[in-house]
Amino acid sequence: ASDSNLIRATLFPGDGIGPEIAESVKQVFREAEVPIEWEEHYVGQEIDPRTQSFLTWESLESVRQNGVGLKGPMATPIGKGHRSLNLTLRKELNLYANVRPCYSLPGYKTRYDDVNLITIRENTEGEYSGLEHQVVRGVVESLKIITRQASLRVAEYAFHYAKTHGRERVSAIHKANIMQKTDGLFLKCCREVAEKYPEIKYEEVVIDNCCMMLVKNPALFDVLVMPNLYGDIISDLCAGLIGGLGLTPSCNIGEGGIALAEAVHGSAPDIAGKNLANPTALLLSSVTMLRHLKLHDKANRIQDAILNTIAEGKYRTADLGGSSSTTDFTRAICDHL
Ligand code: NAD
């Protein structure tokens, strides 16, 4: 029976390790008494003609209705005649910004102790427009689309994020010295938005230099905003700075305030079904979902329990050098709540 005090949220357990780490989230939420009722949706076995994808129209409608959701990794089925699952979600729900917080986890030693940055990736165009063709034999072309509308929208999101999260600086990452028209337009839009936020410092950094600075001293950065492909690459680089893909959360922001949180990693077929996966990335993603819902008490409690479990070092999964199973690690987090 559904309780009217509960907030409905869509849950896509996803593929591979997805169902195992989604189970961790459900368990931790139960233990922390989070007032959320999950509406679970699975990727279909057949192509839904309404979405041209294995994702059903009902599952997309569920995210639209609820406005919030959590998504496990999805392995796109091989074969022609359908759209990639992640691309379908992005396009159908207009998920225009992908926000990836990245901070050092106390007690888990990496080269740096002071990483604390946010990458914000434009999620709908750029090199991911899917417009590739052969011009003549031996010559192919891929179109990188940058529009004023999408660039202003993601820049506005980045500055608004910086302002509402007590951040001081936004860096626009680009290669406008070479891509003068496309990245040039992206920068122009960032500058326009920057003028509306005089309290936030604004700078522009060329992507190659940005990579060098990030690996030398990640503390130089605060909030980074960039076109699609650069965001894809830079955010994985940032994940590497703090210990890998098992740890990094993300949240997709869509038109009309939709938030679909997801781990950055994929379905990890090499360890699926073996109770070995690290659920931290999906758990921290679920924390970003709770913050979006302004359930800050629950979010803080769960985040502290995760960080304390990792800091304590008694229970860690194999990717962090430990020998705990997914379920033992999850139990330890529940004990820390
Ligand atoms: P992957 O992220 O699944 O795996 C890369 C490596 O990281 C593997 O060795 C894996 O074991 C490890 N790893 C990833 N997550 C982990 C976790 N939580 N705990 C411990 N180890 C973890 O990348 P891949 O192998 O390139 O992709 C596999 C599938 O996932 C592909 O079908 C791909 O399309 C899909 N994928 C989906 C998404 C998404 O849904 N957002 C993202 C990336 C890849």
Confidence class of residue 10 from pLDDT cuts 50, 70 and 90?
very high
Sign of the Cα torsion 77, 261, 244, 151 reads positive
The Cα–Cα gap between 28 and 103 comes to 22
Q: Would you tell me how many other CB atoms lie within 10 Å of the CB of residue 207? A: 20
User: Could you tell me the distance, in angstroms and rounded to a whole number, from the CA of residue 265 to the centre of ligand 1?
Assistant: 5
Q: Which atom of ligand 1 is nearest to the CA of 281?
A: 18
Res. 57: pLDDT tops 90: yes
Structure tokens at 271: 């360890």
Q: What is the mean pLDDT of the chain?
A: 94
Pocket of ligand 1 contains residue 272 by CB under 6 Å: no
- Which structure tokens are listed for 26? 């459900």
- Residues 6 or more apart whose Cβ sits within 8 Å of residue 164: none
Q: Is the separation of the CB atoms in 110 and 243 below 8 Å?
A: yes
Q: Whose CA is nearest to atom 5 of ligand 1?
A: 268
Please work out whether the CB of residue 232 comes within 6 Å of at least one atom of ligand 1: no
Q: What is the pLDDT of residues 152-166, one digit of tens each?
A: 999 999 999 999 999
Question: Is the minimum distance from the CB of 277 to ligand 1 under 6 angstroms?
Answer: yes
Per-residue pLDDT for 246 more than 50?
Answer: yes
Helices (H), 40-123: 57-66, 85-92
pLDDT at site 1: 47
- The packing angle between helices 228-242 and 207-216, to 10°, is 10
* ipTM of the complex, rounded to two decimals: 0.98
13 lines ligand 1 (CB under 6 A): no
